[in-house]
Amino acid sequence: MGRHLFRDIVAAALKDQVKWCDKAILLSLSLYTLVALPSASHDTCIQHLINSVRMTILLRGSAFITGAASGIGQQTAIAFAQHGVTQLALADINQDALDISARSLKKQFPHVHVLPVHLNVRNSMQVKEGIAKTIGKFGRLDIAVNNAGISGSGRKTHELDDDEWLGILDVNLQGVYRCQKEELGVMVNQEDLGPRVGRGRIINVGSIFAVVAPNNQDHTAYTTAKHGIIGLTKADANSYGPLGIRINAICPGYVETPLLTSIMSRDPDSPLAVDLSRTPLKRLATMEEVADAIVLLASPMNSYMQGASMICDGGFTSN
């Protein structure tokens, strides 16, 4: 029965358009099902396996990611491809880095359709055209990750000029608003694929400074913008939840980058090093860890979370 069951589950999975099924996973699940459900009917076993594969792979469909040419956005694109997304629109202001990222992703995952989208989140028309280009290519938008952002200079409020203040808010808050506005405009008109998937999912990338203020660091504009992302996430989660659209935020702590590592090695008494010493896990997050948290927020395994801010900070804000 095992051989026939494996053959039939592969056929059923392909018929169900689960084309990204991994045969090793299917075989393992088949063997598990034979042991766990020895007296179950053939059809029951097949349905059990289909459901198990869906929850194991986590994701499918299309995704749109801003700030996708580097950092968290780039790693999220990789994680999405690893977990079943087969249509990826990568958006970024840096055309050269975007092209490199898109080629690299396509080389790693030949079965994934990759669409580079050059845009500036400060430009409403470019955002609108970027979303339209994504829909024109893929026909649907299942997942959106609004990640593009800048850090600013770290001046005190009385030292800031209006251009710097408004510039940081324009990218970090209004940029998220512009993207979310267009994403929602598409999602409300899509077919609802059921309570686990809905019409779409949006993940906004905040920061630990969306929930607390930095110690001994002057990032007033950045902190204000990131707090605003949480407000936007909650407000639209309430408005669009009844329509089958899930909206949540991820709030990463300090993430390992060459710049942060260099700062801490040069100055063990820097505000960053002091903050890290207060983090219970005593280390920086990796890009992969943050991307994995975003995968969870986007997945059907997290289908009852709405308007929430997932803090991924090694315990920093709890200490």
Catalytic residues: 222, 226
User: Facing residues of 89 across strands?
Assistant: 64, 115
- DSSP labels, 84-119: T--EEEEEES-HHHHHHHHHHHHHH-TTSEEEEEE-
- DSSP labels, 113-173: EEEEEE--TT-HHHHHHHHHHHHHHHS---EEEE----------GGG--HHHHHHHHHHHT
Cβ-in-10-Å burial (0-12, 13-18, 19+) of 313 comes to buried
CA 115 to CA 91: how far, in whole Å? 8
DSSP H helices, the chain, are 2-15, 23-36, 42-57, 71-82, 95-108, 124-138, 162-172, 174-187, 220-240, 258-266, 271-277, 287-298
CA 15 to CA 231: how far, in whole Å? 42
CB neighbours (10 Å) of residue 108? 12
CA 272 to CA 216: how far, in whole Å? 9
CA 210 to CA 249: how far, in whole Å? 10
Q: Which two tokens stand for residue 232?
A: 């936007």
